[in-house]
Amino acid sequence: KILIVDDEQLARDRLRRHIQEIDANHEIIEAENGLVAIEKCEHQHPELEFSRFTAPAYGTRCSRICQPA
């Protein structure tokens, strides 16, 4: 699973397309901010996260929480 975190839908769409061009078999999860990303990390356990650290609402904290234990 791959988590894409960005507050701009167009940026998430663009990254999703690039990932799917490389390998369409990946499950892609999206979050519009760090708070949503934290929740998705806790419940869906993505293996890889793409995020924009300047995104509002807990961007840096999200990256720490989403790291595997």
Position 66, amino acid: C
Q: pLDDT tens for residues 2-57?
A: 999 988 999 999 999 999 999 999 999 999 988 898 899 889 999 888 887 655 55
**Tokens linked to 67:** 């790291």
Non-local (6+) Cβ contacts of 29 within 8 A are 1, 2, 3, 4, 40, 44, 46
Which residue do the tokens 């989403």 mark?
66
In angstroms, the CA 4 to CA 52 distance is 9
Structure confidence at residue 68 as a pLDDT band (50, 70, 90): low
Nearest partner of 58 among 41, 29, 36, judged by Cα: 36
The span from the CA of 47 to the CA of 68, in Å, is 8
* pTM for this model (two decimals): 0.78
